[in-house]
Amino acid sequence: MGNKLLANNRFYILSFSILLSVMVFAWLRLTLADNQLLIMRTQQIFGLLSIIYLYVALAISPVAAIVGSQRIKPIIFARRSIGVSAFYYGLAHTVIVFWGQMGGFSQVEYLPALFIWSLIGGTVAIAIMFYMTITSTDWFIRVMTYRWWKLSHRLIYIGGILILLHVWSLGTHLVSASWQFALLGSLAVLAGLQTVRVVKFVNKKWQLFNRDESVVVGIAGWAIVVTLVVLTPSVVPNYHSRHTDSSKTETTNIHKMMGH
């Protein structure tokens, strides 16, 4: 049993994720004297790590569809532990925000509407990730059957959209053009991979397009998704970029509550 565990790459990924969280907190504790700043930086880094893990987990399937599952079989096997790690950091981020920065749910009523809606979206995303975590075992797959298990796990795409909206609406650093460019570039790559995967799946199942048509459809689909992402800032406001001196008092109060 012990040898099987040590030969399982999921064990090493989960162990590394836990160790990394401890190292991050220890490093922040040593470098930051202010407790409120420590809490704020910890939740920000944990939130970022959750997004990175989730991004990798979402990218594995389309990469496998493009290069072939057998070529990256160990990575596909590790995908569940990567998703669990994304939930681990996302949950830590959520707990720190609610009870470390805000002081509990009793403070929610004092937040602006944009904050509340963003927190609701983030909470729903965490709930989806929690469902995926508890159903990530082989036992659940047997009980649910692989077909329904795989179908239900596509809820993560809804969770991903909610996380994107949550990050954009409350992200302090996203007022910076460089962070916006990094986010857009990352999403554009992921959208491209997913588009290729979808076109290959549709063509394999129904054989609707020839090779040239598949390329055109893929590029069109990718362009649509990227356009929607680019338009997100014009539809969903960012709290930190839209406030002016006229709301300075409210901004100061919120920043004190949230640790900004």
| Ranges of each domain in the chain | 2-171+238-258
173 or 170: which leads in pLDDT: 170
Q: What is the pLDDT of residues 98-145, one digit of tens each?
A: 998 888 888 888 888 888 889 999 999 999 999 999 998 888 988 988
**Residue linked to tokens 């990567």:** 82
Res. 172 pLDDT band, cuts 50 70 90: confident
Please report the pLDDT score of residue 252 as a whole number.
47
CA-to-CA dists, residue 151 to 157, 199, 225, 238, 256, angstroms:
11, 18, 22, 33, 42
Please report the pLDDT score of residue 4 as a whole number.
63
pTM comes to 0.86
Phi first, then psi, for residue 137 (nearest 5°) are -90, 160
